[in-house]
């Protein structure tokens, strides 16, 4: 059962999805539900023997296209809503092994096109206020299937982090008369210390305010809000920048680095949001090869992140590896 | 090469027996794509109010 429960302390919705307890958990490769269905083989989620990129509705959705009524009664203090929306799985490739870091540039460009298409279609649904494209990679993040894939959630509200970014971007526009992210891009480029990749149309850097040791944000130089606004040369440059970053990550400790990738676009709630600037955020959990950054007391209990590293020191390591990956 | 990065995208929409949809994205060679189907992205842009997810 799924429903939305209102948290009046924080002013945000929580999604309950108890059926997800039963989802497939790290199956052996012969039982991978994201591999194509081969003749005579296991019937998987994908009923064709081959494909380029596939999107399908999650068998264990958090948000539903046709949501049932909440199973519990709310109250004026703690209202409940149907968990309407969408939960999609994006399978990057028919190949079971590998990652985006090992994908061809053409495949990554096509993946960006799929993300853009899903954002347009899901965002056009009147009940969808935000389309969130993301990837959880690696068991350290809690991934339950190893086959290269990402996910898309279409929420009937603007999630808290995005709402705060939209609000602060709008406030910055009112106060400074400029785009917050354009200003951050310029600051990082001028300073130079936190730059990781300085490409033609995109810039990757460890933010001054990074919460995670090797957190990186990739932003387009041009002010735009959605992936579908990108030109072909910008998509190609994004694919190259993305792959360089992921290869730098994999070179950092000598193994395929786990991460969360979050694509931050404008809401689709009908508001203007012209101040908001598309960008991608990456949060690897590793602070060393063998030590993870956990969301502990300060982070989970107070919402205040403690970063054990300096962005000015982590960025040069990633920058050197990204330069090598670009050769 | 076109400036539009999404114009050659084609999507096959399939309904599973349990009602869930599956979207197969493909990129036919340019001469086939020109006649096979309009850009899926442009379809969605041209009909933003339609329920494009019905399969």
DSSP conformation class of A297: I
Task: Tell me which residue of A134, A11, A138, A7 sits closest to A62, measured CA to CA.
Answer: A134
Structural domain range at position B39: 10-46
Helix (H) / strand (E) containing A181 = helix A180-191
Q: What is the pLDDT of residues B12-54, one digit of tens each?
A: 999 999 999 999 999 988 765 544 444 555 444 433 333 333 3
Average pLDDT, chain A: 94
pLDDT attached to residue A153: 98
- Measured CA to CA, the distance from residue A123 to residue A118 in angstroms comes to 8
pTM to 2 decimal places: 0.91
Q: What is the pLDDT of residues A218-262, one digit of tens each?
A: 999 999 999 999 999 999 999 999 999 999 999 999 999 999 999
Give residues with Cβ within 8 angstroms of A23, minimum separation 6.
A59, A60, A144
Residue A50 lies in a domain: yes
Residue A15 lies in a domain: no
User: Can you give the CATH number for the domain in which A197 is found?
Assistant: 3.30.428.10
Copy the structure tokens of residue A253.
Answer: 């400790």
A149 catalytic, yes or no?
yes
Record: contact A121-B16, CB cut-off 8 A: no
3-class DSSP assignment, residue A240: helix
Residue A74 lies in a domain: no
What's the domain count of chain B? 1
Question: Once rounded to an integer, what is the mean pLDDT over residues A98-111?
Answer: 95
Helical spans, DSSP H, in B1-55:
30-36, 40-46
Structural domain range at position A51: 24-59+85-325
Residue B21 lies in a domain: yes
Residue A104 lies in a domain: yes
Copy the structure tokens of residue A323.
Answer: 């330069």
- Measured CA to CA, the distance from residue A136 to residue A262 in angstroms comes to 9
Q: What is the ipTM of this complex?
A: 0.92
Residue A153 lies in a domain: yes
Catalytic residue among A146, A147, A149, A172: A149
What's the domain count of chain A? 1
Residue B4 lies in a domain: no
Interface of B with A in 34-53 (CB under 8 A): 40-41, 44-45, 48-53
Record: contact B5-A57, CB cut-off 8 A: no
Residue A17 lies in a domain: no
Residue A80 lies in a domain: no
pLDDT attached to residue A23: 65
Task: Tell me which residue of A274, A137, A278, A253 sits closest to A203, measured CA to CA.
Answer: A278
Residue B54 lies in a domain: no
Q: What is the pLDDT of residues A121-178, one digit of tens each?
A: 999 999 999 999 999 998 888 888 889 999 999 999 999 999 999 999 999 999 999 9
Copy the structure tokens of residue A110.
Answer: 């096509």
Question: Once rounded to an integer, what is the mean pLDDT over residues A7-35?
Answer: 82
Q: Which of chain A's residues have a Cβ under 8 Å away from the Cβ of B26?
A: 51-52
């Amino acid at each position: 059962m799924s429903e939305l429960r209102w948290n009046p302390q924080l002013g945000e919705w929580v999604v309950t999805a108890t059926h997800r307890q039963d989802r497939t958990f790290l199956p052996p490769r012969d039982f991978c539900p994201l591999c194509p269905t081969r003749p005579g083989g296991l019937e998987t989620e994908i009923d064709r023997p081959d494909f380029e990129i596939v999107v399908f509705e999650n068998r264990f959705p958090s948000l539903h296209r046709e949501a049932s009524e909440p199973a519990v009664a709310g109250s004026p203090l703690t209202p409940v809503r149907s968990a309407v929306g969408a939960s999609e799985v994006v399978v990057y490739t028919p190949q079971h092994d590998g990652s985006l870091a090992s994908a061809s540039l053409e495949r990554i460009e096509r993946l960006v096109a799929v993300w853009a298409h899903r954002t347009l279609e899901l965002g056009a649904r009147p009940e969808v206020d935000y389309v969130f494209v993301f990837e959880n990679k690696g068991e350290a993040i809690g991934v339950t299937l190893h086959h290269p894939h990402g996910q898309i959630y279409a929420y009937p509200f603007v999630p808290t982090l995005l709402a705060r970014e939209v609000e602060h971007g709008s406030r910055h526009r009112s106060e400074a008369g400029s785009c917050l992210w354009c200003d951050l891009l310029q600051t990082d480029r001028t300073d130079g210390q936190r730059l990781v990749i300085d490409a033609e149309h995109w810039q990757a850097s460890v933010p001054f305010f990074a919460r995670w040791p090797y957190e990186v944000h990739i932003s387009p130089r041009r002010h735009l809000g959605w992936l579908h606004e990108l030109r072909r040369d910008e998509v190609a440059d994004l694919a190259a920048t993305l792959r360089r970053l992921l290869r730098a990550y994999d070179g950092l400790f000598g193994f395929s680095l786990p991460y969360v990738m979050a694509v931050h676009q404008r809401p689709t709630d009908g508001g203007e949001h012209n101040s908001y600037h598309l960008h991608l955020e990456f949060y690897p959990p590793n602070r060393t090869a063998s030590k993870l950054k956990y969301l502990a007391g300060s982070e989970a209990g107070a919402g205040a992140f403690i970063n054990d590293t300096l962005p000015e020191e982590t960025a040069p390591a990633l920058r050197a590896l990204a330069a090598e990956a670009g050769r | 090469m076109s400036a539009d990065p999404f114009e050659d995208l084609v999507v096959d929409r399939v309904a599973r027996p349990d009602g869930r949809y599956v979207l197969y994205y493909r990129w036919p060679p340019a001469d086939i794509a020109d006649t096979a189907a309009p850009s899926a992205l442009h379809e969605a842009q041209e009909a933003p109010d339609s329920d494009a997810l019905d399969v």
